[in-house]
Amino acid sequence: MTYIGVKFREQGLIYYFDGQGQEIKKGDKVVVTTEEGVGLALVFLTRETPPEGLPEKDIKPVERVAEAEDLQAEEENIRMGREAFAFCKTRIRESGLEMKLVDVEVRFDRSKMIFYFTAPSRVDFRELIKALVNKYRTRIELRQIGVRHEAQILGGIGDCGRGCCCSTFLRRFDPVTIKMAKEQQLFLNPSKISGCCGRLLCCLNFEREFYSDFYKKCPKIGKKYETAAGEVKVLRANIFQDSLVVDAGGGQEKEISLPEWQELVSGQGDSSFLNTQIPTTSAASSSQEKGKADQQPAAVQEKAVEQKEAGASNEQPQAEHLKKRGKRSGARRKGKSPSPSRRNRRKTKQKK
């Protein structure tokens, strides 16, 4: 016995039917009967055993493989749906309704038409329904959907460069919270953690269990803990290496694994690394210079001492020479003759 999984819409759920021994393969179109009437569906998968959790008595049989007439009727329904979309959009604009039409679905037997739309609040579309019923003479349903379902129907490209998860494989929307982004240490920038629909990324929910399991074993970030080495503060966590970064004292940080942290808290771990201090810049430079001096040969050190003594001996006579020169210049400055301008000023005073 062959069981087939079919989809009525590209973004819809998978429904299972009994193949009834017919030669049906993936990609074929079949006619099936559901609670809402006869429908044309696309075969998405085939299997030999029924799906888990679904009793065999609830699996309905396939009516037949789609024929040329069925495919032609489907094309006409698609054309009718496009015309209905344009007509409804025009009436919405004329009525001034605050709603956005997303898609129109026409049932295979044309017993019902569904208009999917989004709106910020409740909309009074009674006049719109009357216009649609008078136009198409069938059952009309206006179904309000959310922005996530809108993105699922329309599709799009995410920040990762691939198609939106909701339009490719996601069929049910689990709640996504900002706490998931915080646990994954993401920047809380709305443009970075939001999808095409403007809501939080659905993929934040994919690794939720992995992060929650890690943080169950991890101590609280930013909290101080009493250990065998004293009070230690946990600065941050590295989930990919399963480790923690703690304050080792003196402005120094130390990365340790979670098992080492558990041993440190229990008093069995090695806490010697917490006593290390970072040397200051002056102390470090003086120690480096001292180390370099100790590594020089004795002959080089003696030559450096001789050059230093010779420089000191040369500096003394040079200082005495500058001192004498300063005295001579001072004496000359005291007994210097007046400048021509001063001489002229004196003569004019005498004449007066």
Buried/exposed code over 281-318 (b: 16+ C-beta within 10 A; e: otherwise): eeeeeeeeeeeeeeeeeeeeeeeeeeeeeeeeeeeeee
| pLDDT of 273 | 54
Q: Which pLDDT value is given to residue 350?
A: 60
pLDDT, position 312: 47
Adjacency order of strands within the sheet including 139-144: 100-106, 112-118, 139-144
CB-based contact 177:200 (threshold 8 Å)? yes
**pLDDT computed for residue 315 by the predictor:** 47
Q: Are 200 and 194 in contact (CB under 8 A)?
A: yes
**Residue 328 confidence (pLDDT):** 52
The helix (run of H) or strand (run of E) holding residue 27 is none
- Nearest-5° Cα angle at 142, 138 to 146: 150
Instruction: Identify the pLDDT of residue 132.
Output: 95
Q: Tell me, what's the pLDDT at 324? A: 55
DSSP codes of every residue in 162-217: SB-HHHHT--S-----HHHHHHTT----HHHHB-TTSSBPGGGGTTHHHHHHHHHH
Domains of the chain listed by start with CATH number: 3-66 (no CATH), 74-145 (3.30.300), 152-205 (no CATH), 218-275 (2.30.30)
pLDDT number for residue 23: 85
Q: Is 229 helix (H, G, I), strand (E, B) or coil?
A: coil
What's residue 74's pLDDT? 93
CA distance 127 to 92: 10
C-alpha R_g of the chain: 44
Q: How far is CA 92 from CA 95, 97, 99, 294, in A?
A: 5, 6, 8, 90
Query: pLDDT value at position 306?
Result: 54
Q: Which helix (H) or strand (E) holds 113?
A: strand 112-118
Residue 157: DSSP 8-state: B
pLDDT at residue 309, as a whole number: 52
What 3-state DSSP class applies to 138? coil
At residue 80, φ and ψ (nearest 5 deg) are -65, -40
Alpha helices in 225-279 (DSSP H): 258-266
Beta bridge partners of residue 115, listed in sequence order: 104, 142
Per DSSP, the residues of 30-86 read EEEEETTEEEEEEEEEEESSPPTT--GGGPEEEEEE--HHHHHHHHHHHHHHHHHHH
Is this model's pTM higher than 0.75 or not?
Answer: no
Determine phi and psi for 194, rounding to 5 degrees. -115, 150
Inter-axis angle of helices 126-136 and 68-95, to 10 degrees? 140
Residue 193 class from Cβ within 10 Å (0-12 exposed, 13-18 middle, 19+ buried)?
Answer: buried
The answer to whether 68 and 99 are in contact (CB under 8 A) is no
Phi, psi (rounded to 5 degrees) for 41: -130, 160
Give CA separation, 190 vs 148, 150, 193, 195, 291, in Å: 16, 19, 5, 9, 55
Q: Please give the chain's pLDDT, 352 residues, in tens.
A: 688 899 988 878 888 998 888 888 889 999 998 888 889 999 998 888 888 878 877 888 899 999 999 999 999 999 999 999 999 999 999 999 999 999 999 999 899 999 999 999 889 999 999 999 999 999 999 999 999 999 989 888 888 888 898 888 887 888 999 989 988 888 888 888 999 889 999 999 998 888 888 888 888 888 888 887 778 888 888 888 888 888 877 778 888 888 888 888 887 656 555 554 333 333 334 444 444 444 444 444 455 545 555 554 444 555 555 555 555 555 445 455 555 555 566 655 565 5
Phi, psi of 36 (to 5 degrees): -100, 5
Q: What pLDDT does 349 receive?
A: 58
